Chains A and B, each alone.
Chain A
Amino acid sequence: MDPADTQQEQPIPKGQTLFDNIFLWAVLSIALSVLLYNVWGLIDLMRVPLAP
């Protein structure tokens, strides 16, 4: 049997579907960096107390 035909029959593994989802990765990269840097940073700044 032609190897190309075997490839066509195989279902796409879930891991591959996840890793191939480029828009998911684009959203995740922006969301995670905004949360971990900007949001966390703003929370830290808001927690600085006023001088006694």
Chain B
Amino acid sequence: MFAPERVWWKPIHRIEKSWVVIALIWSLFLTVMMPLWFIVGKQNVPVETYSVTTEQYRQTVEAFTAEYQVDTLAGVPVVEAPPGDVYMTAQRFSFSPILRLEKGEEYRLHISSLDVLHGFSLQPVNLNFEIVPGYDYVITLTPTSSGEFAIVCNEYCGLGHHVMVGKMLVTE
């Protein structure tokens, strides 16, 4: 092993300078692309967040379900609400209620957890969000196709995580 030279600070080599410039340009490009793609890219969903207790949120969703329930599917209430605010909860190990939305109408989908972190993955559309207890996450969305959509929990939440699948219905 050799000790470094006493004065190792030397004028920068041409190749090192090129390396630093290329890396800097690429970093700046990536930095600009982050907000730019958020504005220009079409897959960025408008989101608001509010602080809420699990008990408050449970009561809000229960009141919403009681007002707009039209059916039950496998023990889960099916709710058909007019365009505007609609509510869902995630709790080990199910999503409730099942929302029946209308294609082309704009909804403010509220989602929160009553226990632990869950994921919300709308399939096959592949919209993905994190569901956090203590925070009401409001997603503004307009269904563009009708049918049955699966909601998969994609954040490990316990032993039943792998069977935590919900449903969303969109009518014409």
Contacts and interface: CB of A to CB of B under 8 A. Distances in A.
Q: Do these two chains interact? A: yes
A10 B7 CA distance: 8
Interface residues on B, range: 10 to 19
Interface in B48-62: 49-52, 56-57
Contacts of A12: 6-7, 9
B5 interface: yes
Interface residues of A, number: 13
B102 interface: no
Contact of B51 (A8, A10, A15, A50): A50
Contact of B50 (A10, A13, A19, A48): A48
B7 A49 contact: no
A50 B7 contact: no
B8 A49 contact: no
B136 A51 contact: yes
Interface string A8-28: 101011011001000000000
B120 interface: no
A7 interface: yes
Contacts of A10: 6-7
Contacts of B56: 51
Contacts of A50: 50-52
Query: Across chains A and B, which 6 residue pairs bring their CB atoms closest together, nearest first?
Result: A16-B9, A51-B50, A51-B52, A13-B9, A7-B6, A48-B51
Interface of A: 7-8, 10, 12-13, 15-16, 19, 48-52
15 contacts: A7-B5, A7-B7, A10-B6, A10-B7, A12-B7, A13-B7, A13-B9, A15-B9, A48-B135, A49-B50, A49-B51, A50-B50, A50-B52, A51-B56, A51-B57
Given A12-B7, A48-B135, 20 more contacts: A7-B5, A7-B6, A8-B6, A10-B6, A10-B7, A12-B9, A13-B9, A15-B9, A16-B7, A19-B9, A48-B50, A48-B51, A49-B50, A49-B51, A50-B50, A51-B50, A51-B52, A51-B56, A51-B136, A52-B50
